[in-house]
């Protein structure tokens, strides 16, 4: 009897969904639900087709593409549906109901198929009265909705912030007071569900987000242009220290493949999100990817940086003689620690040309000769520095071995 009680207590303690952490420079309890130890990799339909992509057939076609393109084997697991998947009204018991025209066999039939392919399924909801698109929000239904998601086999819940205060946006509402309600609902739902907070970087979410979600959006919505990509990345450099296994800054869904970014810009977008340890959630039609885009997102070296178990985000560093970073515009020089080395990012922010880095300037390195590899060109060498010819907005992603040779 005593040993049974002891085992039961042990089970409760070991399943505690929080861990002590000093990641923010002070003791805090970070969410530890077993998920998101490294940033999420997957797809979401919003940047591809907004409401039109919230269908069973789009989810299943994406899942099939993940398998046939070899993306699943590289770690792309999450197939996430965004706003507009639901019917406009809850049922008489107050449950969310999938739109029967978009989900003829319901959600569970789709999650079952996605799970059979070895993938995971995500859905979208909202902390307010309605989603941004005007579908039912979870306010007052948090516990019920968490149970519904678990019963459908949902693995990932993106939680938006419309209609939480007065009007469309969250004017007057403090997100830190109501996002934990859904966290607790998911923790008690009976299923591990990744909690993706989407409150657009309000209320300095990066400071407290680690105790609430597995990721938190840190900006307004990404737009399909280089200026938007660059300004989000510039802001991410100022909050890099808050990323850690189990909870990451979310720089928003990718715009690769959507026809506006150049090849150079697609490389930099992907490379920056990878070294900043943002979720990489593709936002384009995965059945129609250009070979050039596919090549970028299948880059094994860059994916290994993104999925490095240390889970620390890179930030800017100032080489001797260079102007200081400002935080409001994209800076060319980035570096961050890896479990087995240092990653350096060089971005041709304002002009094409020769970009070089002296390893002695890089935090975590120093004087001496180091071996390195650049993942887009495949170049490898030993030395005290590395340099690259980069076209406008292109990026070099370099992994440096920590011990001098
Ligand atoms: C907000 C979110 C977007 C998307 C839309 C859907 O704008 O930030 O990512 O989910 O709502 O309506």
| Centre of ligand 1 from the C-alpha of residue 137, in Å | 13
Which ligand 1 atom sits closest to the C-alpha of 200?
8
Domain ranges of the chain: 4-306, 316-404
Indicate which residues carry an active-site annotation: 160, 221
Ligand 1 pocket test, pick from 43, 44, 45, 46 with the greatest ligand atom count within 8 Å of Cβ, gives 46
Topology of the domain covering 4-306: TIM Barrel (3.20.20)
Sign of CA dihedral 276, 277, 281, 282: positive
Q: Which residues line ligand 1 (CB under 6 A)?
A: 46, 82-83, 132-133, 160, 198, 200, 221
| Centre of ligand 1 from the C-alpha of residue 132, in Å | 6
Nearest partner of 371 among 345, 402, 340, 397, judged by Cα: 402
| Centre of ligand 1 from the C-alpha of residue 30, in Å | 26
DSSP per-residue string spanning 242-274? G-BTTBEEE-----TTSSSS-HHHHHHHHHHHH
Can you give the pTM of this predicted structure?
Answer: 0.95
Which ligand 1 atom sits closest to the C-alpha of 198?
8
Question: From CA 205, how far away is CA 356, in angstroms rounded?
Answer: 35
| Centre of ligand 1 from the C-alpha of residue 159, in Å | 9
Which ligand 1 atom sits closest to the C-alpha of 252?
9
| Centre of ligand 1 from the C-alpha of residue 200, in Å | 9
Ligand 1 pocket test, pick from 82, 228, 250 with the greatest ligand atom count within 8 Å of Cβ, gives 82
Contacts of 300 (CB under 8 A, 6+ apart): 74
Q: Give the per-residue pLDDT at 173.
A: 85
Ligand 1 pocket test, pick from 126, 128, 160 with the greatest ligand atom count within 8 Å of Cβ, gives 160
Q: Give the per-residue pLDDT at 9.
A: 47
Which residue CA neighbors atom 9 of ligand 1 most closely?
A: 221
| Centre of ligand 1 from the C-alpha of residue 343, in Å | 32
Which ligand 1 atom sits closest to the C-alpha of 82?
10
Q: Give the per-residue pLDDT at 12.
A: 45
Nearest partner of 233 among 258, 269, 282, judged by Cα: 269
Instruction: Please list the pLDDT of the chain residue by residue as tens digits (405 residues).
Output: 455 555 544 444 445 799 998 877 788 899 999 999 999 999 999 999 999 999 999 999 999 999 999 999 999 999 999 999 999 999 999 999 999 999 999 999 999 999 999 999 999 999 999 999 999 999 999 999 999 999 999 999 999 999 998 877 777 789 999 999 999 999 999 999 999 999 999 999 999 999 999 999 999 999 999 999 999 999 999 999 999 999 999 999 999 999 999 999 999 999 999 999 999 999 999 999 999 999 999 999 999 999 999 999 999 999 999 999 987 899 999 999 999 999 999 999 999 999 999 999 999 999 999 999 999 999 999 999 999 999 999 999 999 998 767
Q: Give the per-residue pLDDT at 10.
A: 46
Ligand 1 pocket test, pick from 161, 200, 221 with the greatest ligand atom count within 8 Å of Cβ, gives 221
Question: From CA 42, how far away is CA 58, in angstroms rounded?
Answer: 14
Which ligand 1 atom sits closest to the C-alpha of 131?
12
Which ligand 1 atom sits closest to the C-alpha of 221?
8
| Centre of ligand 1 from the C-alpha of residue 161, in Å | 9
Topology of the domain covering 316-404: Immunoglobulin-like (2.60.40)
Question: From CA 195, how far away is CA 216, in angstroms rounded?
Answer: 9
| Centre of ligand 1 from the C-alpha of residue 69, in Å | 27
Q: How buried is 109 (Cβ within 10 angstroms: 0-12 exposed, 13-18 middle, 19+ buried)?
A: middle
| CA–CA–CA angle 6, 12, 14 (5° rounding) | 100
Which residue CA neighbors atom 8 of ligand 1 most closely?
A: 221
């Amino acid at each position: 009897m005593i040993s049974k009680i002891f085992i039961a207590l042990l089970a409760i303690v070991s399943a505690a969904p929080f861990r002590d952490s000093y990641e923010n420079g002070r003791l805090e309890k970070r969410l530890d639900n077993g998920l998101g130890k490294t940033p999420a990799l997957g797809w979401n339909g919003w940047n591809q087709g907004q409401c039109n992509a919230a269908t069973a057939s789009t989810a299943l076609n994406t899942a099939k593409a993940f398998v046939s393109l070899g993306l699943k084997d590289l770690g792309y697991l999450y197939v996430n549906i965004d706003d507009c998947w639901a019917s406009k009204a809850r049922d008489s018991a107050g449950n969310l109901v999938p739109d029967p025209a978009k989900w003829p066999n319901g959600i569970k039939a789709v999650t079952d198929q996605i799970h059979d392919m070895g993938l995971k399924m995500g859905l979208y909801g909202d902390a307010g009265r309605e989603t941004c698109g005007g579908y039912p929000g979870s306010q007052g239904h948090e516990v019920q909705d968490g149970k519904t998601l678990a019963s459908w086999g949902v693995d990932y819940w993106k939680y938006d912030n419309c209609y939480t205060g007065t009007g469309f946006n969250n004017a007057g509402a403090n997100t830190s007071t109501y996002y934990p309600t859904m966290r607790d609902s998911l923790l008690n739902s009976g299923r591990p569900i990744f909690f993706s907070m989407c409150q657009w970087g309000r209320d300095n979410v990066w400071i407290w987000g680690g105790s609430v979600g597995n990721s938190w959006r840190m900006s307004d919505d990404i737009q399909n242009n280089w200026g938007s990509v660059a300004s989000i990345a510039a802001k991410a450099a100022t909050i890099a220290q808050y990323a850690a296994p189990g909870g990451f800054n979310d720089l928003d869904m990718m715009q690769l493949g959507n026809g506006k970014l150049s090849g150079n810009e697609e490389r930099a977008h992907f490379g920056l999100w990878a070294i900043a340890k943002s979720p990489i959630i593709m936002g384009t039609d995965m059945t129609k990817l250009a070979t050039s885009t596919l090549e970028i997102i299948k880059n094994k070296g860059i994916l290994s940086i993104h999925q490095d178990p240390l889970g620390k985000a890179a930030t800017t560093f100032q080489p001797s003689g260079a102007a200081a970073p400002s935080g409001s515009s994209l800076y060319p020089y980035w570096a961050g620690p890896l479990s087995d080395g240092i990653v350096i990012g060089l971005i041709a922010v304002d002009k094409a040309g020769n970009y070089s880095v002296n390893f002695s300037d890089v935090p975590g390195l120093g004087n001496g000769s180091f071996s390195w590899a650049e993942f887009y060109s495949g170049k490898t060498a030993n030395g005290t520095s590395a340099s690259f010819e980069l076209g406008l907005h292109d990026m070099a992603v370099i992994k440096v071995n920590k011990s001098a040779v």
